[in-house]
């Protein structure tokens, strides 16, 4: 099984501390991790051919927010097989409804979820995407 390619995970969040924390957690579990502190840079990577297995994005970010980011990914057909997961502190029904309209694969509230739970939830979502 060791020749199986690593699963690629993209994190998009303007909080660098959280990006680093999630990157370490996922890398320690054998994932190939790409982090971006803004949606525009993440879109550029996707347009340049980066094709992750999962994209975890915050909603509230300067410039383009996470909902708009996922919307652009969907419209442009970028990373078509990637699971899209909102990783955010926005837990209001309106926010969740906006994300669900984009057919996101998961919605994780950061404030109530420790990194190992984020990892487990992501693994569950990836297993369901197969």
Q: What is the CATH number of the domain that holds 108?
A: 3.40.50.2300
6: pLDDT strictly greater than 70: yes
Which ranges constitute the DSSP H helices of the chain? 16-28, 39-47, 66-76, 93-101, 115-129
113: pLDDT strictly greater than 90: yes
- Residue 114: inside a domain, yes or no? yes
- Residue 1: inside a domain, yes or no? no
Question: pLDDT band for position 61 (50/70/90)?
Answer: very high
Q: What values do phi and psi take at 46, rounded to 5?
A: -65, -45
When divided into structural domains, the chain yields a total of 1
Which pLDDT score, from 0 to 100, does residue 129 have? 82
What mean pLDDT, rounded, does the chain reach? 94
Question: pLDDT band for position 3 (50/70/90)?
Answer: low
């Amino acid at each position: 099984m060791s020749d199986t390619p690593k699963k690629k995970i993209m994190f998009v969040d303007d909080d660098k501390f959280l990006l680093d924390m999630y990157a370490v957690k996922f890398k320690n579990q054998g994932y190939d991790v790409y982090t971006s502190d803004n949606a525009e840079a993440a879109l550029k990577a996707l347009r340049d051919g980066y094709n992750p297995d999962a994209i975890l994005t915050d909603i509230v970010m300067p410039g383009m927010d996470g909902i708009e980011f996922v919307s652009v990914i969907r419209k442009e057909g970028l990373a078509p097989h990637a699971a899209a997961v909102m990783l955010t502190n926005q837990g209001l029904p309106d926010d969740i409804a906006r994300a669900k309209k984009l057919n996101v694969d998961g919605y994780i509230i950061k404030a109530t979820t420790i990194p190992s739970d984020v990892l487990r939830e992501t693994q569950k979502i990836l297993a369901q995407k197969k």
